[in-house]
Structure 1
């Protein structure tokens, strides 16, 4: 079994949220709770992201790319080592 270094995994805990035609960087929890229906994108590759989590209790939230690609360092299992813009990047 191959072991992965825990440091190699960068969990996307922030994203950019489009508010009034402006992209603003914020935490996964704030984006998930306060801006549920707003467009979200990865700050590294500008690919579309979705937030997943709970609205009740501990209020946990995570982010993931809608469609991954091999040029985003936030996707360690797919990352090619060269950062590139997402093919379906949000402007």
Structure 2
């Protein structure tokens, strides 16, 4: 639930990390699993909540404006690169 504060989202990610199934999110009919992430001490982002690509990095923007820096994002067992996610986000915004 990206509307939650970043610390809560990060804590959930850590709680369900491997060997558990992992924290996940959906875009359209695709499910994405957050493999590796960290919560950097950075200024808040002025972006809508959810997955985004910023400076060629995948981030999860949370309700308090802070963002998780997602190092590994998976869908269908395959890693998703920032350009691939950017394309998925662009297509889903037009749907």
Task: Please confirm whether the aligned pair reaches a TM-score higher than 0.5, indicating the same fold.
Answer: no
Structure number with larger C-alpha Rg: 1
Higher strand share: 2
TM-score normalised by the chain length of structure 2: 0.34
| Structure having the larger proportion of residues in helix | 2
